Structure formats: C-alpha cells, structure tokens
Amino acid sequence: MSVRKALALGVGAVMCTGLLGTGCASRTPDGPPARQASPRPAPAAPTARPLPGLGPAVRARVPAAAGQVLVVRGASQDANRAQVVLYERHPVRGWEAVAGPWSAHNGLRGWTEGHSAGDLRTPVGVYGISDAGGRLPDPGTRLPYDQDPEFALSGTGHLGEDLEGSFDYVIAVDYNRVPGTTPLDKTRPLGEGKG
C-alpha cells in the first residue's frame, strides 16, 4: 500500500470517527457526563441577488422601495437594439427575472449619459415609469392610461422601417417629462435641449 493511500485511509478514518462521535454524548457509567460538542455556527443567510448586468453605481440609484425594475440593456454603447427584462424583488432571494427578455429598439445611435435633443441616442439612467397610453385601448395596465388618436404615426424611421403602429402602446419613461401626465404632454422640465 502506498504512503499516499495509507494516509488517505487514515484521514478518512479520523474524519469518520470525528463525525460518529458528535452528538452522541452521554453519561458514562463510571465517570462524569461526556462533554457536549460545541454548537456549530448557523449557516450564513443567503445573500440577496442584486440586479444582474448593472454596475454598483447604477444599482445604487434604484430606489430602495422599488419592488419591480424594468432593465433595458444593449450589446454596446452604439447598439440601437436592446433586450428588456422585468425583475421583481423577493424579500429573501433578491431580484428575480419574472418576464422577458423582449427585443426592443432604442436610439438609432445607441446610448448616452449626456443626452441632447436630436442626438438620436437613448439616455442612460434610472427613471420611473408612471404613465402609459397609446392609440389602442388600455390592455389592462395598472398605470394611468391615455387612449388617444394622437398616438397614430405614419411614415418611415431612420432605417427605413414602417412606423405605423409604433405607438399603439406606449410606456412613458420619466426622463425630462412631468410624471402623472399623458405621454403626449410636451412639457420638458430639463428644457427642450435635453430631448
């Protein structure tokens, strides 16, 4: 028998002895009570999962009271296509994907942290979603919903795509708008230059 094999068997035997001896303390007939094994520390509580794919600075801007987060991510800063996933916060497990992913469009030239009108980029950030609307009837959203024929759009987009039906349903992202108003409201609290 090799030294390595003998050592492995010996360590295995010691481990088994140690395991067999735990929790078996009893009074020996001719001696003091056997010593109880010290209690083992409780396993650490599971760490709640953070929102995946977001850096710590962005995650820190998500309101502590938020129970749902709609995350929109593009493959790169210049990507005009994105994926959307809805997450809900579980009190113990943390953030869990509950719907999606869905394909989405964003600004033709991708994303920016310094959005300005006409740059054809989507602003990066954490924004509320407080209102919805569209040309078609309310599909059952819990948000205030404004059905209006003004949401009708025709023509083609920057890539030649047909825009008809693009605003059948709209969710108003609270970037440079007044929450609690129709998505058609043109008021721009940050000014027209911020898009």
Do the beta carbons of residue 80 and residue 109 sit within 8 Å? yes
Q: What SS3 state is found at 93? A: coil
pTM above 0.75, yes or no: no
pLDDT tens-digit series, residues 43-55: 555 578 999 988 9
Per-residue model confidence (pLDDT) at position 41: 66
pLDDT tens-digit series, residues 94-140: 999 999 999 988 899 999 999 999 999 999 999 999 999 999 999 99
Per-residue model confidence (pLDDT) at position 36: 54
State both tokens at 54.
């977001």
Q: Which of 3-12, 79-88, 97-106, 112-121 has the lowest mean pLDDT?
A: 3-12
Predicted confidence (pLDDT) at residue 60 exceeds the cutoff of 90: yes
Q: How far is CA 165 from CA 94, 124, 136, 168, in A?
A: 37, 26, 9, 5
For 126, other C-beta atoms within 10 Å of its C-beta total 17
Q: Which of 19-33, 76-90, 141-155 has the lowest mean pLDDT?
A: 19-33
Predicted confidence (pLDDT) at residue 147 exceeds the cutoff of 80: yes
